[in-house]
Amino acid sequence: MSTSLFEALVPYGWSERVRALWGDVGDPDLLPARVVRVERGAAVIVRADGSECTLRSEGPVAVGDWVAAGHDALHHVLPRWSAVTRADPAQSGAQSGTQVLASNVDVVVITAPADRCSASRVERELAVAWDSGARPLVVLTKADLDTAALGRLRTRLTGVTCIGTSAQSGEGLGDLLGEIGPGRTGVLLGPSGAGKSTLVNALLGEAVQATGSVRAGDRRGRHTTSSRQLLCLPGGGVLIDTPGVRSIALVGDVDLDDVFPEIDAMARECRFRDCRHETEPGCAVTDALARGRLEPGRLASFRKLSRESHADRRQHDPVARREAQRLWKLRALEARHHDKRRTG
Ligand SMILES: Nc1nc2c(ncn2[C@@H]2O[C@H](COP(=O)(O)OP(=O)(O)OP(=O)(O)O)[C@@H](O)[C@H]2O)c(=O)[nH]1
Ligand SMILES: [Mg+2]
Ligand SMILES: [Zn+2]
């Protein structure tokens, strides 16, 4: 089937990549659709003819998923090329699970309001973003409220693009739109009150998403947005608005090298290869700290996230991990046999 048959899905991110994934479905009774919202176990999808409908789903689905839809059910979720995940706050301890916040995104837009910017929160969200398989972009919102905040953030963060935006003055909106070009999907992360929905409305040029004022005392938001929602941008890109969450707990063993590239580079000079940069002798990282070449807050953030990541690896029990590896090997073997039968 050609892409043109699914013209209505193009504004929702239908691309060569999705077409290729769809090619593997091969069931003439099913049509492609994208999940634009998830509400209490039901998925709101946009179908190949551009119409929206709500379908119950057997398995877990996330906003951004490409699915094969029948008349009244979702049949399968196409393989995800990226997934923004966090430890599921509804489950904890031994039952800990993973919640997919959004899937098939190309850019994770980490928002932080200029008047209440927490660099350590941004670093945590950067860890989640790099882990998702998508590329992160840091957006300092409400740049009109503090003109020096962007400079401070850029000094602290290494290896990631930071742009300043203001829905009020229009600053940076064009740059942001440019990052989410045709066929690309972005997802907004950040605390409640960061101005995510205001940003969406400014990019859309109309008030589609509800917005709410921040509290007078601490300028925190009031959790105005309540569900994750996928929207089509005028330039052909796609943006997912999300409710601000208090904190995002890391899932599993997250690689922090891309979040802290300068610490990763320094660590190569440490005496011990497995240096944890705590109290070890010959540590290049604590040495850089002592010489004022590394901000204490930056190292504190690195330590906190690496401890959390390692603790989570232990918690996600090794038995389950081994079982997953066994299944994977089995499947690889089966595939090889299958190929042999075909070629032999
Ligand atoms: N000065 C200024 N205020 C802004 C800007 N963008 C948003 N705001 C204000 O910030 C407040 C919160 O905006 P929202 O867009 O509702 O924030 P949100 O991130 O969507 O919050 P949740 O939906 O609760 O996660 C509103 O009062 C907005 O008017 C901006 O660029 N400049
Ligand atoms: Mg909102
Ligand atoms: Zn070290």
Other CB atoms within 10 Å distance of the CB of residue 341: 8
Cross-strand pairs, 45: 35, 53
Tell me which CATH homologous superfamily contains domain 252-344: Probable gtpase engc; domain 3 (1.10.40.50)
Query: In this structure, which ligand is nearest to the CA of 273?
Result: 3
User: Does 72 or 238 have the greater pLDDT score?
Assistant: 238
**pLDDT tier, 88 (very low <50, low <70, confident <90, very high otherwise):** confident
Ligand 1 site, residue 192, Cβ cutoff 6 A: yes
The Cα-based distances of 304 to 308, 314, 318, 327, 333 in angstroms read 6, 16, 23, 33, 40
Tokens 């008349």 correspond to 71
CA of 199 to the centre of ligand 2 (A): 9
Angle (CA) 57-232-15 rounded to 5° is 75
Query: In this structure, which ligand is nearest to the CA of 244?
Result: 1
Query: In this structure, which ligand is nearest to the CA of 279?
Result: 3
CA of 294 to the centre of ligand 3 (A): 13
Q: Which of 175, 177, 307 is nearest to 237 (CA)?
A: 177
Query: Are 67 and 74 in contact, with CB atoms under 8 Å apart?
Result: yes
pLDDT of residue 161: 97
Break the chain down into helix, strand, coil percent, rounded to 5.
35, 20, 45
Q: Which of 184, 229, 183, 211 is nearest to 52 (CA)?
A: 229
**pLDDT tier, 309 (very low <50, low <70, confident <90, very high otherwise):** confident
First to last CA, the chain: 31
**What is the b/e burial string over 97-122, where b = at least 16 CB atoms within 10 angstroms of the residue's CB?**
eebbbbbbbbbbbbbbbbebbebebb
Does 269 have pLDDT greater than 90? yes
pLDDT of residue 1: 47
pLDDT of residue 96: 63
CATH code 3.30.160 for 3-77? no
Rg of the chain (C-alpha set): 22
Q: What is the mean pLDDT of residues 7-24?
A: 95
Q: Which two tokens stand for residue 336?
A: 């090889």
Best residue among 198, 201, 223, 239 to mutate for probing ligand 1, ranked by most atoms within 8 Å of CB: 198
| pTM for the model | 0.89
Query: Are 234 and 203 in contact, with CB atoms under 8 Å apart?
Result: yes
The Cα-based distances of 331 to 76, 79, 336 in angstroms read 19, 16, 9
pLDDT of residue 322: 56
Would you list the domain boundaries of the chain? 3-77, 83-241, 252-344
Q: What is the pLDDT of residues 221-251, one digit of tens each?
A: 989 998 999 999 998 999 999 999 888 899 8
pLDDT of residue 314: 55
Q: What is the pLDDT of residues 108-160, one digit of tens each?
A: 999 999 999 999 999 999 999 999 999 999 999 999 999 999 999 999 999 99
Q: What is the mean pLDDT of the chain?
A: 88
pLDDT of residue 316: 57
Give the whole-number percent of the chain exceeding pLDDT 90.
69
pLDDT of residue 315: 57
Query: Are 198 and 190 in contact, with CB atoms under 8 Å apart?
Result: no
pLDDT of residue 343: 44
User: Does 322 or 293 have the greater pLDDT score?
Assistant: 293
Does 204 have pLDDT greater than 60? yes
Ligand 1 site, residue 212, Cβ cutoff 6 A: yes
Ligand 1 site, residue 193, Cβ cutoff 6 A: yes
Does 40 have pLDDT greater than 90? no
Q: What is the mean pLDDT of residues 23-39?
A: 92
pLDDT of residue 187: 98
Task: Give the range with max mean pLDDT: 84-98, 284-298, 322-336.
Answer: 284-298
**What is the b/e burial string over 133-150, where b = at least 16 CB atoms within 10 angstroms of the residue's CB?**
bbbbbbbbbbbbebeebb
**What is the b/e burial string over 226-248, where b = at least 16 CB atoms within 10 angstroms of the residue's CB?**
eebbbbbbeeebbbbbbbbbeeb
CATH T-level topology, domain 83-241: Rossmann fold (3.40.50)
Fold: same for 83-241 and 252-344: no
pLDDT of residue 90: 75
Does 2 have pLDDT greater than 80? no
Q: Which of 107, 119, 129, 112 is nearest to 158 (CA)?
A: 119
